[in-house]
Amino acid sequence: MDTIQVLSYITTAAGGLFLWFLEGFIPFFSGRKSRGTHAGLNLSIAGLNLVILLPSGIMMAFALEQSKTIWSGVNILGLPLFLETMLVILLIDLWMYFWHRINHEVDFFWRFHSVHHSDPSMDVTTAWRFHYVEIVLSELLRFPVFILIGAGIEDLILYSMLMTPVIEFHHSNVSIPSSVDRLLRIIIPTPLMHRVHHSVTRSEHDANYGSMLSFWDRLFGSFLLKKDIKNMTIGLDNESAPEQQRLFALLARPFQQ
């Protein structure tokens, strides 16, 4: 494990911990109880996913290195290194936008992605709450996409370092001034944007798919804002009851539909 990978993990953990504590002092949705229990559930799911993500990362590094001997991807354009890296990052984020949208629009994928959306108390820990089958599918599809782009493992680590804090931030229950949110969402998806994405109303949660950059939603017509977010219900109908928010219930639910 090299220095940049270690730094990526530290950034993820430190950013998440900072936002979780900040949620306790300046929450957007107030009155949240059992925050520790809620975090424990979501982190348990995230821990299971690490069993998939760690070996997948090793295989990804090997696959990307070997693929460069037969296909160079965007390197064929002969761009300066900085511009090439920026293009790769943009293309990775574009893929993330479409992959997220596919998870909403294709029923098979939605049954697994809905575990993420069924959280009725969205906070920073929700950023790591994904069903393990969704993680497996995501990792399998990333291989050909990233090979086609011509990404290197260093590009993926850089993207992770840029994208993860944004995802943690827009899932967080931190209250920020609406003027700051408005300014930030010119570039990144913000908490007000992503809270709409977690609305119990299907027409609202089928919007704002961006991971790191917000302009994909404007470009592809999926950008949506909503007034009175404070009164909005988060979660999913018939899937967010307390007895459904337990580890084994969440892991089993997609197979019971």
pLDDT per 10-residue tile (average), the chain, 257 residues: 65 91 94 92 95 89 88 89 96 98 97 97 97 97 94 91 95 96 97 97 96 97 92 92 93 89
Per-residue model confidence (pLDDT) at position 131: 97
- pTM above threshold 0.75: yes
How many domains does the chain divide into?
A: 1
Per-residue model confidence (pLDDT) at position 231: 87
Q: Collect contacts of 20-27 with beta carbons under 8 A, ≥24 apart.
A: 20/123, 20/124, 20/125, 20/172, 22/172, 22/174, 23/123, 23/124, 23/172, 23/173, 23/174, 26/174, 26/175, 27/173, 27/174, 27/175
- For 34: left if phi > 0, alpha if psi spans -120 to 50, otherwise beta; the answer is left
Domain that holds residue 71: 3-256
User: Are residues 210 and 166 in contact, defined by beta-carbon separation less than 8 angstroms?
Assistant: no
Per-residue model confidence (pLDDT) at position 57: 86
110: exposed, middle or buried (C-beta count within 10 Å: 0-12, 13-18, 19+)? middle
Per-residue model confidence (pLDDT) at position 97: 98
